[in-house]
Amino acid sequence: MKTVVLKFGGTSVGSIERIKKVCKIIASYKKNKNRIIVISSAMSGVTNDLVNKSKLISNNFDRAEYDTLLSTGEQVSCALIAGRLNHIGFKSRSWMSWQIPIITEGPHSGARINKVAVKELYNYLKNGGIPIITGFQGINNKLRLTTIGRSGSDATAIMFAKFFKANECIIFTDVDGVYTTDPRQYKNAKKIKKIFYDEMLEMASLGSKVMQPTSVQDAKLNKINIQVKSSFVSKPGTLIAGSIKSFSDKIITGISSTKNDAKITIVGVKDRPGVAASIFRPLSQNLINVDMVVQNISLDGKETDLTFTIKSDDLKKTEKLIKRNKKISYKKLSFDKNVSKVSIIGVGMITTPGITYRMFQALASKKINILVISTSEIKISVLVSAKQVKKAINILHKEFKLD
């Protein structure tokens, strides 16, 4: 008998009618003689409401109590799902993280699942039960509830698939899979049937909302294949998996773009060992994430121009930190908020020469100016004017035959 882990996101359980539909999906898997483990998020909007309540109580709400508060959202949705399954004739019950238990380590609001006790839950599965388990949470070695950060329910599902050696792990959400690019940016975007872990990790890091990077990383490390499907329409989804092949027969899998980027250029920095560290250390200490970095050194080697990107929300803070920094001297500081990053992603480019040229030539054919370039083994990113993002996605989609 197959063991299948089904995870339902907040939008999938966002109302009573949606919970009833979710229960029909669970029932269909159970009728096919599978052992079913269900992981549920809180109903959409509930966690945000609890966060707002904590802010009204205190602007320095205790972290342990914060986790205790937020963990109640999943308790509600799990009880409702189990109640509905019992109503339609299935054996089911809700399981809180501490009842299993799900053991975590690390700080409150950022813990990671370390172990899942399987014995009691396995016996319940053998006896035909459908356990409905609270995602996003666990307990630490002090028996305090912990939460495991954004996309925590996905991480819960992946770890249950690992500890129960599940045959399938299916993430149900409000989209029917991973697309070659954001369909809102490009109407001819196509759903990807299969995407490799590393490709999905890059797309998630670049803003794809389907899964968070930490969950994809967990799946890769534990070799858990994931199906991403919609709970609203009955369509095939996207398989996120590894491969026995070292490369793909498809060169480019997808195109990602970002919003809310800003470009900073520091002109005429006195070049000496450690100057880059002196610039970026205060940013790191203030939790400002630096992305693309380009350095141009003058012909005499005495000065350098340094360009890098950050999120535009951090622009004012970054400007203050640079201007206050007494460890560096420079001639000019400039900013540009109207920029976006466009990236092509695909493991196939590892073995295919000429991809960089094709990307740059395609952009040039539409008179799209490249401001900054960064590359990795399976990704090429360029910074362009925010006004030209849709045009860039359009031409790259056609150039790499993703239509």
Six token digits for residue 338: 């109207």
CATH code, domain carrying 71:
3.40.1160.10
Q: Give residues with Cβ within 8 angstroms of 338, minimum separation 6.
A: 385, 386, 387
In a domain? residue 69: yes
pTM of the complete model: 0.82
In sign, the C-alpha dihedral spanning 338, 319, 343, 276 is positive
How much is the average pLDDT of 225-250? Answer: 81
Give the model's pLDDT for residue 251.
87
Could you identify the residue written with the tokens 């206050």?
A: 324
How large a percentage of the chain has pLDDT more than 70?
98
Question: At residue 249, does pLDDT exceed 80?
Answer: no
User: Does residue 202 lie within any of the structural domains?
Assistant: no
187, two tokens? 């109407």
CA dist list (Å): 146 to 3, 105, 175, 209, 217: 27, 9, 28, 24, 20
Query: Do 264 and 165 share a structural domain?
Result: no
pLDDT on residue 243? 64
**How many domains does the chain divide into?**
2
If one compares 259 and 22, the residue with the highest pLDDT of the two is 22
Q: For residues 194 and 239, is the Cβ–Cβ distance under 8 A? A: yes
pLDDT > 90 fraction of the chain, expressed in percent and rounded: 73
264 DSSP β-pair partners: 308, 335
Q: How confident is the model at residue 246 (pLDDT cuts 50, 70, 90)?
A: very low
383: tokens are 């910074």
Tens of pLDDT, residues 235-244: 899 999 986 4
Rg (CA), the chain: 24
Structure-token pair, residue 141: 């070695």
Last residue of a domain, one of 116, 140, 174: 174
Does 233 map to a domain?
Answer: no
Structure tokens at 127: 């006896």
What mean pLDDT is predicted for residues 157-172? 95
- On whether both 142 and 267 belong to a single domain, the answer is no
Q: Quick one: pLDDT at residue 207? A: 66
Neighbours of 287 (CB within 10 A): 8
Reading the block at residue 124, the tokens are: 């319940």
93-127 confidence digits (pLDDT tens) = 999 999 999 999 999 999 999 999 999 999 999 99
Residue 11 shares a structural domain with residue 146: yes
Spell out a b/e string for 351-366, using b for 16 or more CB atoms within 10 Å of the CB, else e: eeeebeebbeebbeee
Same domain, 285 and 136: no
Average pLDDT score over residue span 61-86: 97
Residue 209 belongs to a domain: no
CATH number at residue 266: 3.30.2130.10
Answer yes or no: do 146 and 272 share one domain. Answer: no
With cut-offs at 50, 70 and 90, classify the pLDDT of residue 151.
confident
Q: Which residues fall within 8 angstroms of residue 281, CB to CB, at 6 or more apart?
A: none
Last residue of a domain, one of 138, 154, 174: 174
6: left (phi > 0), else alpha (psi -120 to 50), else beta? beta
pLDDT above 50: residue 400: yes
Q: What pLDDT is recorded for position 213?
A: 83
223 in any annotated domain: no
Of 174, 205, 233, the domain-final residue = 174
Q: Same structural domain for residues 272 and 379?
A: yes
- What is the Cα–Cα distance from 176 to 102, expressed in whole angstroms? 29
Residues near 238 by beta carbon (within 8 Å), at least 6 away in sequence? 177, 178, 191, 192, 193, 194, 195, 210, 227, 228
Does residue 214 belong to any structural domain of this protein?
A: no
In a domain, 193, yes or no: no
C-alpha of 307 from chain center: 27
Q: Are 100 and 64 in contact (CB under 8 A)?
A: no
For residues 382 and 25, give the distance between their C-alpha atoms in angstroms, rounded to a whole number. Answer: 42
Q: What's the token pair of residue 309?
A: 């990107």
Domain shared by 170 and 262, yes or no: no
Task: Say whether 70 sits in a helix, a strand or coil.
Answer: helix
What token pair was written down for 52? 């707002």
Check residues 40 and 222 and name the one with the higher pLDDT: 40
The neighbour count for residue 127, using CB atoms within 10 Å, is 8
Mean pLDDT over 35-48 rounds to 96
pLDDT tens-digit series, residues 328-361: 889 999 999 999 999 999 988 888 889 999 999 9
Report the chain's mean pLDDT, rounded to a whole number.
92
DSSP single-letter state for residue 302: S
- For the cut 50, the answer to whether the pLDDT of residue 377 exceeds it is yes
Tell me the two tokens of residue 361.
């030539």
Q: What angle do CA 119, 123, 125 make, to 5 degrees?
A: 115
User: What's the domain range around 50?
Assistant: 3-174
169 lies in the same domain as 294: no
Same-domain status, 169 and 265: no
Q: What is the pLDDT of residue 248?
A: 52
Q: What are phi and psi of 94, to 5 degrees?
A: -85, 150
The answer to whether position 150 is within a domain reads yes
| Three-state secondary structure call for residue 367 | coil
Say whether both 167 and 284 belong to one domain: no
